[in-house]
């Protein structure tokens, strides 16, 4: 009886470990959570009755350990090395030339490219297939024993191979059977917190009103060095392995690529974006695709590692200090840097929101010099305890504007100064207000010049009324010269007014950039066409469709899609200004908050006055419902646009296609009906051609639409 139960116990351990592997390593579970829990509970029950049976590879032993007083030191069986950096393809080629000079076998070498994960190096020991010890890198010779903490990471197999049969996925069996599992196997990997899990962790902390973490790397490092493994267990740590540091009593592969395959077959998590190439140039080309594509990775990577595949050759090449010559870290441009916070300025937005802006000591981030960054809002400064003079961590990634992540508290000298948010608007001097349930502070003075400036900027912008030629500089002059007190005033500007502000613009530009040689006054200059052009552009804007006017006046919460729906549903501003919250909520995507914000906007006297002026100026478009989507000539067709078109702007072409019933999407697929091609197209053209998607130009598009 007991024997039978013991067999069942062994079976359950293997099963739970296997399903754990399917879930945490392969990210492909084959049973439901409920079934998993059932197996685990059965296992726990047996262990409760037979505590003497429990072994270290039992899945129940992951978070059982008690807090430690300190970490013991562990000497690594071989040095845990570092990597030399390459900043770009030229550096990588120079590395190749250097190693080629040392050993001509490099000429025929293959290269493995792996992500350089921004985490923490860990060293895992397996004896007879059981996970027995794990350490931090430490100084490369001696690390700290963090076995109990590492056990809590479910991606780390407690026993390898996880199961011989199940890991033998097509042909991979050979990866194990060609070799012999060493009695002592020491594997190195990188422990980290995936970006999504990090964001979720911070969101939870924020909701609980607790302090959030700076970045995934610091959090992973802190989590692994907790004395209480229960704390480590509560953090979403995972890992990827990439190296066999040491092996004894067995046979392991001697090529990096096969090591990765072998480790994978044993049940370890291995980066799935790793590739092997026959020459350096292909390896560089692949590496560079990840420079642009790094956001597709689920973890932070600060580069890719290029490794000579033949590990015997790599070892023969030797080291420079702690850096092996056989591999190089191809670094991506940094996206996070530290710099000094020199001061905090406050900007006033279109809706009166005050936004604190960090004035920074100039610093390069990813090839761009950054001098300022957003600090989000005043609560953020307070929560993060950001002080003037602090060293701050600043991030600039992709399209988002640079932002401050937080202070480097350890770098404080004591001279840093606390910041006090303003009690008055920096633009108009009136007292600022705070609304219940919102973090933002507002300047509620409707006549605040800073707000007016942002309002006009928004109104004339490409996404709204698209008035060409009215740039930020001109708008500023218009507002400063009191020629406009709201956006409707734009339509009563005369050519003479525009000539005056144009003159002022020219004067300011000259002042900024004085001409090197004195301007000859005798030669006749061609008459300046700008005032007339501006006048015409403003007149043209009166014909803009309703949705653009709705976007232009700036109603809190109403973006492009909603403006389109409002315009199609209500048809004109007379109707829209009298609708009820209930009417609005019949529109898909309009919730009570937005509905209230719309009704509120139309009920404000200043906005009523603005609408009256717009109507008088003839800016009162109506949406005839004739252009209903299904009836247009382009209905049922999907379009992708690439490059610059001769007459239509980005938004313009979208509007054109949609007004004729067509649909515009971002990327080309087999289902795309047409690619509309302009000048300087991107990679979409290649894709369209390879998929056999028809390519047309603007003229052909217009013909299709029956224009
Ligand atoms: S190889 C000889 N491969 O980057 C082996 N390192 O400065 C040398 N890292 O401390 C390391 N991902 O913590 C290697 N795929 C990868 C890596 C990687 C991240 C880290 C590692 C090391 C640092 C190099």
Pair (476, 357) in one structural domain: no
Pair (246, 367) in one structural domain: no
> What is the number of alpha carbons within 13 Å of residue 185 lying toward its C-beta?
28
| CATH number for the domain harbouring residue 167 | 3.30.470.30
pLDDT at residue 491 tops 90: yes
**Any atom of ligand 1 within 6 Å of the Cβ of 242:** yes
Pair (373, 470) in one structural domain: no
- pLDDT bracket for residue 561 (50, 70, 90): confident
pLDDT at residue 417 tops 50: yes
Q: For a ligand 1 pocket test, name from 76, 78, 80, 83 the mutation site with the most ligand atoms within 8 angstroms of its C-beta.
A: 83
Are the C-beta atoms of 229 and 152 separated by less than 8 Å?
yes
First to last CA, the chain: 86
CA 478 to ligand 1 centroid distance, Å: 57
Pair (563, 508) in one structural domain: yes
Residue numbers of the domain that contains 354: 336-412
pLDDT at residue 190 tops 70: yes
Which pLDDT belongs to residue 146?
95
- pLDDT bracket for residue 449 (50, 70, 90): confident
Q: For a ligand 1 pocket test, name from 137, 190, 300, 325 the mutation site with the most ligand atoms within 8 angstroms of its C-beta.
A: 190
**Any atom of ligand 1 within 6 Å of the Cβ of 239:** no
Is 231 a member of any domain? yes
**% of the chain residues with pLDDT over 70:** 95
Strand 238-248 relative to strand 85-86, pairing: unpaired
The mean pLDDT value of the chain amounts to 90
Which pLDDT belongs to residue 397?
76
Are the C-beta atoms of 309 and 299 separated by less than 8 Å?
no
Pair (557, 658) in one structural domain: no
Which pLDDT belongs to residue 129?
94
> Residue 344: beta bridge partners?
358
Residue nearest to atom 6 of ligand 1 (CA): 116
Is 427 a member of any domain? no
**Any atom of ligand 1 within 6 Å of the Cβ of 136:** no
Which pLDDT belongs to residue 398?
66
Which pLDDT belongs to residue 628?
46
Which pLDDT belongs to residue 522?
54
The model's pLDDT over 8-37, given as tens digits with 9 standing for 90+, comes to 999 999 999 999 999 999 888 889 999 999
Rounded to whole angstroms, the Cα distance separating 476 from 509 reads 13
Pair (232, 296) in one structural domain: yes
CA 70 to ligand 1 centroid distance, Å: 26
Q: For a ligand 1 pocket test, name from 79, 117, 140, 328 the mutation site with the most ligand atoms within 8 angstroms of its C-beta.
A: 117
Q: For a ligand 1 pocket test, name from 116, 135, 306 the mutation site with the most ligand atoms within 8 angstroms of its C-beta.
A: 116
Catalytic site residue 116? Answer: yes
Which is nearest to 156 in space by CA: 164, 146, 166, 165? 146
Query: Which of ligand 1's atoms lies nearest the C-alpha of 271?
Result: 15
Is 57 a member of any domain? yes
Residue nearest to atom 13 of ligand 1 (CA): 121
Q: 53 vs 166, which has greater pLDDT?
A: 53
Residue nearest to atom 11 of ligand 1 (CA): 82
Radius of gyration (C-alpha) of the chain in whole angstroms: 32
The H or E element that residue 341 is part of is strand 336-348
Q: For a ligand 1 pocket test, name from 274, 319, 325, 329 the mutation site with the most ligand atoms within 8 angstroms of its C-beta.
A: 329
Rounded to whole angstroms, the Cα distance separating 190 from 681 reads 40
Among the three residues 290, 311, 331, which one is the final residue of a domain in this structure?
Answer: 331
Which pLDDT belongs to residue 444?
80
Is 88 a member of any domain? yes
Tally of CB atoms within 10 A around 171: 9
CA 379 to ligand 1 centroid distance, Å: 38
Which pLDDT belongs to residue 165?
60
The model's pLDDT over 106-159, given as tens digits with 9 standing for 90+, comes to 999 999 999 999 999 999 999 999 999 999 999 999 999 999 999 999 999 999
The model's pLDDT over 333-386, given as tens digits with 9 standing for 90+, comes to 888 899 999 999 999 988 788 999 999 999 988 778 899 999 999 999 998 999
Among the three residues 412, 435, 460, which one is the final residue of a domain in this structure?
Answer: 412
CA 120 to ligand 1 centroid distance, Å: 9
Rounded to whole angstroms, the Cα distance separating 121 from 135 reads 9
| CATH number for the domain harbouring residue 46 | 1.10.287.610
Pair (540, 661) in one structural domain: no
Q: What is the DSSP letter of 555?
A: -
> Residue 388: beta bridge partners?
417
Query: Which of ligand 1's atoms lies nearest the C-alpha of 324?
Result: 2
**Any atom of ligand 1 within 6 Å of the Cβ of 243:** yes
Is 423 a member of any domain? no
Is 676 a member of any domain? yes
The catalytic position among 116, 264, 307, 331 is 116
361 contacts: CB under 8 Å, gap ≥ 6: 339, 340, 342
Residue nearest to atom 16 of ligand 1 (CA): 116
Which pLDDT belongs to residue 210?
78
Residue nearest to atom 21 of ligand 1 (CA): 121
CA–CA distances in Å: residue 187 to residues 58, 118, 121, 282, 329:
21, 18, 11, 28, 20
CA 62 to ligand 1 centroid distance, Å: 26
**Any atom of ligand 1 within 6 Å of the Cβ of 152:** no
Tell me which of 49-63, 532-546, 623-637 is least confident. Answer: 623-637
The H or E element that residue 392 is part of is strand 391-395
| CATH number for the domain harbouring residue 655 | 3.40.50.10190
Q: What is the largest CA-CA distance in the chain?
A: 114
Pair (324, 384) in one structural domain: no
Query: Which of ligand 1's atoms lies nearest the C-alpha of 274?
Result: 15
Tell me which of 40-44, 110-114, 512-516, 661-665 is least confident. Answer: 512-516
Is 593 a member of any domain? yes
**Any atom of ligand 1 within 6 Å of the Cβ of 329:** yes
CA 116 to ligand 1 centroid distance, Å: 6
Are the C-beta atoms of 28 and 18 separated by less than 8 Å?
no
**Any atom of ligand 1 within 6 Å of the Cβ of 220:** no
Residue nearest to atom 23 of ligand 1 (CA): 82
Peptide bond into 161 cis (omega under 30): yes
516 contacts: CB under 8 Å, gap ≥ 6: none
Query: Which of ligand 1's atoms lies nearest the C-alpha of 114?
Result: 15
Pair (44, 112) in one structural domain: no
| CATH number for the domain harbouring residue 471 | 1.10.150.20
Structural domain count, the chain: 5
Are the C-beta atoms of 361 and 338 separated by less than 8 Å?
no
622 contacts: CB under 8 Å, gap ≥ 6: 546, 571, 572
CA 83 to ligand 1 centroid distance, Å: 6
- pLDDT bracket for residue 77 (50, 70, 90): very high
Tell me which of 59-68, 279-288, 301-310 is least confident. Answer: 59-68
Tell me which of 357-361, 467-471, 590-594 is least confident. Answer: 590-594
Pair (86, 119) in one structural domain: yes
Residue nearest to atom 5 of ligand 1 (CA): 81
Pair (297, 194) in one structural domain: yes
Which pLDDT belongs to residue 669?
87
**Any atom of ligand 1 within 6 Å of the Cβ of 163:** no
Q: Where are the alpha helices (DSSP H) in 587-634?
A: 592-603, 605-616
Is 385 a member of any domain? yes
Pair (94, 212) in one structural domain: yes
The model's pLDDT over 499-550, given as tens digits with 9 standing for 90+, comes to 999 999 999 999 888 877 665 555 566 778 999 999 999 999 999 999 999 9
- Burial tier of 104 (Cβ tally within 10 Å: 0-12, 13-18, 19+): exposed
**Any atom of ligand 1 within 6 Å of the Cβ of 190:** yes
CA 267 to ligand 1 centroid distance, Å: 20
**Any atom of ligand 1 within 6 Å of the Cβ of 305:** yes
**% of the chain residues with pLDDT over 90:** 61
**Any atom of ligand 1 within 6 Å of the Cβ of 300:** no
Query: Which of ligand 1's atoms lies nearest the C-alpha of 85?
Result: 7
DSSP 3-state of 429? coil
| CATH number for the domain harbouring residue 356 | 2.40.50.140
pLDDT at residue 472 tops 50: yes
- pLDDT bracket for residue 627 (50, 70, 90): very low
DSSP 3-state of 314? helix
CA 271 to ligand 1 centroid distance, Å: 13
pLDDT at residue 565 tops 70: yes
Handedness of CA 359, 363, 366, 368 (dihedral sign): positive
Which pLDDT belongs to residue 521?
56
Residue nearest to atom 22 of ligand 1 (CA): 82
Over the range 448-471, which residues count as b (16 or more CB within 10 Å of their CB) and which as e?
Answer: bbbbbbbbbbbbbbeebbbbebbe
Which pLDDT belongs to residue 399?
64
């Amino acid at each position: 009886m007991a024997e039978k139960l013991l067999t069942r116990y062994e079976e359950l351990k293997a099963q739970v470990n296997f399903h754990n592997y399917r879930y945490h390593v392969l990210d492909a579970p084959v049973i439901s959570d409920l079934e998993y829990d059932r197996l685990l509970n059965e296992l726990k029950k047996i262990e409760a009755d037979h505590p003497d049976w429990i072994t270290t590879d039992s899945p129940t032993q992951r978070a059982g350990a008690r807090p430690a007083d300190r970490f013991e030191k562990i000497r690594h069986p071989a040095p845990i090395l570092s990597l030399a950096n390459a900043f770009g393809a030229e550096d990588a080629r120079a590395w190749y030339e250097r190693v080629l000079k040392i050993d001509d076998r490099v000429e025929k070498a293959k290269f493995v490219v792996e992500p350089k994960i921004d985490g923490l190096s860990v060293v895992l020991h397996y004896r007879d297939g059981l996970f027995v010890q794990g350490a931090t890198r430490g100084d490369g010779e001696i690390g700290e024993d963090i076995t109990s903490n590492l056990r809590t990471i479910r991606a780390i197999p407690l026993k390898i191979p996880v199961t011989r049969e199940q890991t033998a996925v097509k042909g991979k069996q050979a990866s194990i059977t060609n070799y012999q599992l060493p009695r002592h196997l020491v594997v190195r990997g990188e422990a980290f917190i995936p970006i999504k899990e990090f964001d979720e962790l911070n969101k939870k902390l924020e909701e609980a009103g607790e302090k959030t973490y700076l970045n995934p790397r610091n959090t992973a490092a802190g989590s692994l060095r907790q004395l209480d493994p229960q704390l480590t267990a509560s953090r979403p740590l995972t890992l990827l392995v990439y190296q066999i540091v040491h092996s004894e009593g067995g046979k392991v592969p001697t090529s990096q690529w096969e090591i990765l395959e072998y480790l994978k077959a044993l049940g370890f998590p291995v980066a799935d974006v790793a590739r092997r190439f026959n020459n350096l140039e292909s390896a560089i080309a692949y590496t560079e695709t990840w420079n642009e594509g790094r956001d597709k990775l689920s973890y932070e990577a600060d580069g890719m590692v290029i490794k000579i595949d033949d590990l015997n050759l790599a070892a023969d090449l030797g080291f420079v200090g702690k850096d092996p010559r056989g591999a190089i870290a191809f670094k991506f441009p940094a996206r996070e840097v530290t710099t000094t916070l020199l001061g905090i300025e406050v900007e006033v937005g279109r809706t009166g929101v005050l936004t604190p802006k960090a004035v920074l000591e100039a610093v390069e981030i990813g090839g761009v010099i950054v001098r300022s960054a957003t600090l989000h809002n005043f609560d953020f400064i307070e929560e993060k305890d950001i002080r003037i003079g602090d060293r701050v961590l600043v991030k600039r990634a992709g399209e988002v504007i640079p932002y401050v992540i937080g202070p480097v508290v350890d770098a404080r000298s004591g001279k840093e100064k606390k910041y006090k948010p303003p009690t008055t608007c920096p633009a108009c001097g009136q007292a600022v207000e705070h609304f219940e349930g919102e973090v933002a502070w507002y300047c509620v003075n409707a006549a605040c010049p800073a707000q007016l400036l942002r309002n006009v900027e928004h109104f004339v912008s490409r996404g709204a009324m698209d008035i060409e030629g009215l740039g930020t500089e001109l708008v500023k002059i218009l507002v400063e010269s009191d020629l406009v007190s709201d956006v409707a005033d734009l339509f009563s500007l005369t050519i003479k007014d525009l000539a005056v502000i144009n003159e002022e613009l020219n004067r300011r530009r000259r002042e900024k950039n004085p001409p090197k040689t004195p301007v000859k006054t005798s030669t006749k200059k061609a008459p300046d066409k700008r005032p007339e052009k501006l006048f015409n552009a403003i007149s043209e804007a009166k014909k803009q469709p309703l949705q653009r006017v709705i976007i232009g006046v700036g109603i809190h919460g109403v973006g492009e899609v909603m403006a389109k729906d409002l315009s199609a549903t209500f048809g004109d501003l007379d109707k829209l200004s009298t609708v009820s919250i209930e009417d609005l909520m019949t529109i898909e995507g309009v919730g009570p908050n937005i509905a209230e914000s719309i009704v509120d906007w139309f009920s404000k006297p200043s906005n009523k006055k603005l609408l009256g002026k717009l109507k008088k100026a003839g800016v009162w478009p109506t949406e005839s419902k004739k252009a209903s989507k299904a009836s247009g000539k382009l209905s049922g067709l999907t379009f992708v646009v690439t490059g610059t078109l001769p007459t239509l702007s980005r938004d313009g072409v979208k509007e054109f296609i949609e007004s004729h019933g067509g649909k515009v999407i971002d990327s080309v697929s087999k289902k795309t009906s047409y690619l509309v091609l302009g000048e300087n197209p991107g990679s979409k053209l290649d894709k369209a051609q390879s998929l056999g998607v028809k390519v047309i130009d603007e003229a052909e598009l217009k013909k299709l639409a029956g224009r």
